[in-house]
Amino acid sequence: MASPSNSEILTLLYCMAPGFADPTEDQLACYNTIIDALRCQVSAGAIGCCTTLAYVYLLAHLLTLQSNAQLGVVSSMSEGNLSISFAISSDSSFLNSTPWGKAYEDLIKRTAFAPTVSNLPLNFNPLALYGSCGC
């Protein structure tokens, strides 16, 4: 299976996450750069018909993190007796910091054919991965 084009990925992104639609020229260039960087993270052969969706989830995850600087990091601080609170727990996965990352992780758990689908730090059982997307 061939990897989807940037245009195909962006079309689905705009449908699924309208907040990212109508980007400026600079934002669109950034979207395309991120997609190109993600090409080593997603294997079309392993994910099959869900490849475009995997790209959209990862792209939306990264764009959400980019637009919400405090997401997944310090949410509050104190000075007296030093207290720091985090938006997510320190043992949470990078992907758990947005709904898009969680959706990607779930997609991989349901559709991947091998445990080497991505270089991202995934926590999944490769024995439970075979084919539930209908590919």
Measured N-to-C along each axis, helices 99-111 and 51-67 cross at an angle, to the nearest 10 degrees, of 160
Q: What percent of the chain has pLDDT over 90?
A: 41
Over residues 10-50, the pLDDT tens digits come to 999 999 999 999 999 999 999 999 999 999 888 888 888 89
Is 78 within a domain? no
Q: How many helices (H) and strands (E) does the chain have?
A: 5, 2
Query: Would residue 82 count as lying in a domain?
Result: no
Sheet strands (E) in the chain: 74-78, 83-86
- The model's pLDDT over 58-72, given as tens digits with 9 standing for 90+, comes to 999 999 988 876 665
Full-model pTM:
0.70
What is Dmax (Cα atoms) for the chain? 58
Domain membership flag for residue 18 = yes
Does 80 reside within a domain?
A: no
Query: Please, how many CA atoms are within 13 Å of residue 129, restricted to the half-sphere of its CB?
Result: 20
Confidence of residue 86 (pLDDT cuts 50, 70, 90): low
Say if residue 83's pLDDT is above 80.
no
Cα separation, 24 vs 101, in Å, equals 24
Tokens for 19, please give them.
Answer: 């907040």
Residue at 81 is within a domain: no
Mean pLDDT of 82-104: 72
* Residue 53 placed within a domain: yes
Overall domain count for the chain: 1
Domain that holds residue 26: 6-68+91-128
